[in-house]
Structures are given as C-alpha cells and as structure tokens.
Amino acid sequence: MNRIALIIPHYANVSDTYECLESLKKQSIYSQFKIYLTFISEEEFESDNFIKQNPHVVPVKLSSNLGFAGSCNVGLKKALEGNSDIFITLNNDIILDKYCIDSLVMHAASLSNGAIISPKIYFYTGQEYHKDRYQEKDLGKVIWYAGGKLDVKNVYASHRGVDEPDCGQFDIPEETDFATGCCMVITKKVIETVGFFDEKYFLYYEDVDYSMRCKDRDLGVLYYPKARLWHKNASASGKPGSALHEYYLTRNRLYFGNKYAPTRTKLALFRESVQMLASAGVKAKAVKDYYFGYMGKREII
C-alpha cells in the first residue's frame, strides 16, 4: 500500500479538529496514515496530552497564519520529506465515512497517470444553506459538492449539485472542472509536475487554480462519488456573505480571471471591478488590493 499523508490545516475551532481526527481514527486503513496537522498556537493542543493521544499526528507549527494554501504547502513539503506517495488535503471541519480514505486511495492507485481527486461531500446536518427547505429524511444527504463547475467566460466557480438532496443523481465517477481542497487527493506525480498551491490566494480559489494547472499539463481532475464525507461548511473561515468571504472571493476572482480567462472576459472583469470601486465596502477594498498587488493575507476592515 502506498504511504498516505493527510494534511489538515487547523485554524481555531479545536473541537472541530478533534472531531475530524476521531473520524479519521475510524477509517479502515488508519494504521497507514501520517497526519500532518498545521497550526499556529501549540497552547490549543497542550491541555489534554493531545499528541500522546494521537500518535499518527505529526504536529507542524507555523510562524504565522498562512491561510489554507500556505498551510497546505507547508504540510505537503513535510510529507514529501517523509517519503509519502499519496497526499490528501482535508479541512478540519469534516466528518468522514468509514471507507472514505480507503476508497479514494484505491482509486488513485488504480490510475495510470497523475491526478487530483475529490469525493462526494454533503453538508453536515444543521449546516445547510437553507435549513428549512429539507425534509427530515434528507438531512445528512444534502449535497455540498458533487463535482466542480467552472464558467471561465464569466469567472464563476460553483459546486455541482449544491443544496440538492442526494438521490443518486451524481453517482458516476468522472472528470470535473475542479477538485475541492476540502478533500483533495494529490498523487506524487502531480506535485512533481505542478508543484504546490499558489499562496497568493491565501483563501478561496487556490483549489480551482490548482485544478487548472493540472488540466494544462494533461493530468486528471476527478470526482469520485463512492467516497463520501460531511462538511460543516466554513466554520473557521467565515460563512458565505461575511466580510472575510466577500473580500477573498472578490480579490481572488480577479486574480484567477486575469490568469485564465479570455481577453474579452478580462475586459468585462475590469469594467465590473471599476463599478465595485465606486461602492463603499469590502469589495472595493478587495479590488484596490488586487490592482496594487496586495495578495496573500490582508486585514479586511
């Protein structure tokens, strides 16, 4: 079996990280894991002998908040030093089906070429965007991600199937526009060919960018629904509509669009950004920061 490295960036919400790790302990191939947990403050994990209770965890202390992209990169580089063959990025606010990692690793090992792979992801019960929309039988089966959809001409990335109860409509493994960093299998060939996440994004769009770079090099970007997990949905990074969410999505969409979109779309993006500059608020700041080249972590307010 290939050596498996899981990279989990931790930022706040220790209880979520604990629950995620407990979920990983139930995986059928847990004994084959090394879990690289990146964090800023050791104090969060010192009160109950955390490391002793989790011998598969390799603690990786960061000097500062590097965001999802930077934290993953530090973990991936540590894992490479440990001679891992398959790498999996995971949000800390997820709960996995017992066979999730096993299924993903087996699928990755069956491929002849390098690839990145994401599973079917549900909303964790109670974290759905529209909580009153669903019947009780739907809870725990509301889709958060069933493949990625990328509208390059308008520079919009979205999740296929989001908010839909799972009725088997997305049960076919297939190529997809982008994999999600929430749970992304990365084979060693991908890292050797593509490298690491672009840290200029800091948060949001780094996984879409990584997917584009894979496709540009004829590497697979795959959705594999036989593996499943549940996501608490941005419990640490801000809910949709928050100032943090709006800032990074706005700024990073401009960055992504100007890297990959056709010329006509770039002109449309510029016109749209001028309109946002005319308004007060976090979107105007995001536009200014993009044009002045202020990427990475930024103060929002």
What is the average per-residue pLDDT within 229-245? Answer: 77
pLDDT digits (tens, 9 = 90+) for 102-150: 999 999 999 989 999 999 999 999 888 888 888 889 999 999 999 999 9
Cβ-based neighbours of 110, under 8 Å, separated by 6 or more: none
Buried b (16+ CB within 10 A) or exposed e, 60-76: bebeeebbbbbbbbbbb
Residue 255 confidence (pLDDT) above 90:
yes
What is the average per-residue pLDDT within 229-236? Answer: 79
pLDDT digits (tens, 9 = 90+) for 27-41: 988 888 899 999 987
Q: What is the CA radius of gyration of the chain?
A: 19
Q: What proportion of the chain, given as a percentage, has pLDDT over 90?
A: 76
Strand-strand pairing, 156-159 and 148-151: antiparallel
To 10 degrees, the CA torsion angle through 290, 292, 293, 296? -60
Cα angle, residue 286 at apex, residues 283 and 292 outer, rounded to 5°: 145
Distance CA 111, CA 25 (A): 26
Distance CA 61, CA 64 (A): 9
pTM over 0.85: yes
3-state secondary structure of 124: coil
Q: Which domains does the chain have, with CATH numbers?
A: 4-231 (3.90.550.60), 243-291 (no CATH)
Q: What is the pLDDT of residue 235?
A: 54
Neighbours of 267 (CB within 10 A): 11
Provide the mean pLDDT of the chain. 92
